Amino acid sequence: TGFAELLSSTRDPGRRAVVIGRQMRLLQLAGETSRAVELGLAELGRLGVRVPKPIKNRHVALAVLGAWRAARKVSREQLLEMAEVRDERIKAQMHIFGALSGVLFSVDQLLFIHLAGIHARLVLTEGYHSTATVALAELAFAIVGMGQVAMAGRLAEDNLALAKARGAGPGPLLVAEGIWLLFVGPCYRPYRDCAAAVEDAHITAVELGERLDAGYRGSVGLVLHIEACTHLAEVKALFRRFHVHHPAWCTPETAAIVGIVMWVHRRLVGEADEGGDEAEWLRAPQPPDPEDPEISVLTRCALVVSQAWVHLMLGEHEQAWVLAERISPAFEKDMFGSWVIPRAALIDAVLCGERAQREPGSRRRLLRRLRRDLAVCRRWARDGGDNFGPLVDVVLAE
């Protein structure tokens, strides 16, 4: 192939990294994310980066803690004045880390976080690279998962300032902004503010031709509007706008998110098939299979949470309970760092409270689970009172 010829004609690590990064991007666009990841990991190995197999929690914790400690020592001013990295091999490593970040999330979340920690620490200790804003944005996401929301927010905002000050290209700038808007911001900013900001950011990504980034922003933006209690008629209008820009739904991950939002809408509104102008609406992706390997573990778990939430609101408690039982043992791990976690805890708590009244023999076990759910909601409400404070009140009532 053309890529093979290009790679065989150069030994320069920087040029190889650029070629492999482009090949990975094309594989991702073709839906071959696993092949893209294999290609990137193989090149990291060639560049001297050892990736443990299998990745375990301790590997992830060590990588993230190392980067976290380095980040705590750096002020915004120091970040903005960071010197360029000089070592050509490290530059090549950073380029591959940046390319992997775009494909790993839906394939292997633990590996994604592990490499994000290594990448961010390299930036903070070796110097600025065009992928620096990607690395620091992903570190902010990882820090949220460790419960340090305030620090994650500061790092994400400093990173945006860095991206603008250093003239980062559209891709890295979109990643820095996207992780702040979609993952970190909702942990401490009101949902309504986040939803409005994501609408504008979605259109910006569309105009820049960044189809994958735009699709993800638009799909998660629909979820934020549901959380912000946006009128469901407006959510439907936003869906229509999304479909104009993304008629093929972009990726399995994006299609899954849009599909569950539209399922939630239909169940809550109870719309019938009106035909005519409703044709595209009715052809929206259906609720996806939560076991689909093309969808990230986080999104798979969030899909089940959304389904359980709707069943609970519609009084279909048995269906909700089956789903809650499915995710209860590991929802914090499976949705690492996601603001969907407190929603899962709320649903589980309400269902446990109801069941404890009907099943005296299970009361002690269910109350232990309910107390765990309360602790989860309280932890999230510390930094995100607007979004998660009311959840604490509901769980306390149970």
The domain tally of the chain equals 2
Both 344 and 301 in one domain: the answer is: yes
Residues 114/55, Cβ–Cβ less than 8 Å = yes
Those residues whose C-beta lies under 8 Å from the C-beta of residue 196, and which sit 6 or more positions away, are none
Same domain, 251 and 169: no
Tell whether 57 and 170 lie within a shared domain.
yes
Whether residue 284 has pLDDT greater than 80? no
Q: Are residues 62 and 114 in the same domain?
A: yes
Of 230, 250, 275, the last residue of a domain is 275
Is the pLDDT at 388 greater than 90, yes or no?
yes
Check residue 84 and give its pLDDT.
Answer: 93
pLDDT at 276: 42
Is the separation of the CB atoms in 335 and 298 below 8 Å? yes
Q: What is the pLDDT of residues 244-281, one digit of tens each?
A: 898 877 788 888 899 889 889 988 987 654 444 454 54
Instruction: Identify whether the C-beta of residue 37 lies closer than 8 Å to the C-beta of residue 90.
Output: no
Helix, strand and coil in the chain, % to nearest 5 = 75, 0, 25
Q: What percent of the chain has pLDDT over 70?
A: 92
pLDDT value, residue 274: 46
pLDDT digits (tens, 9 = 90+) for 33-51: 888 999 999 999 999 998 9
| Band of pLDDT at residue 282, cut at 50, 70 and 90 | very low
Residue with tokens 């299970």: 362
Could you say which of 240, 275, 310 is where a domain stops? Answer: 275
* Domain match, 34 and 56 both: yes
DSSP 8-state code for residue 181: I
Q: What's the pLDDT at 202?
A: 93
Host domain of residue 117: 2-188+276-397
Same domain, yes or no, for 42 and 178?
A: yes
If asked whether residues 281 and 151 sit together in one domain, one would say yes
Asked if 283 and 266 sit in the same domain, the reply is: no
270 and 193, same structural domain?
Answer: yes
Same domain, 234 and 294: no
Q: Mark which of 257, 275, 293 sits at the end of a domain.
A: 275
The pLDDT, as a whole number, for residue 28 is 78
Q: What is the pLDDT of residue 32?
A: 82
Same domain, 264 and 289: no
Q: Provide the pLDDT for residue 349.
A: 97
The pLDDT of residue 144: 94
Which residue, among 187, 222, 183, has the nearest Cα to 202 in the 3D structure? 222
C-beta separation of 109 from 37 below 8 A: no
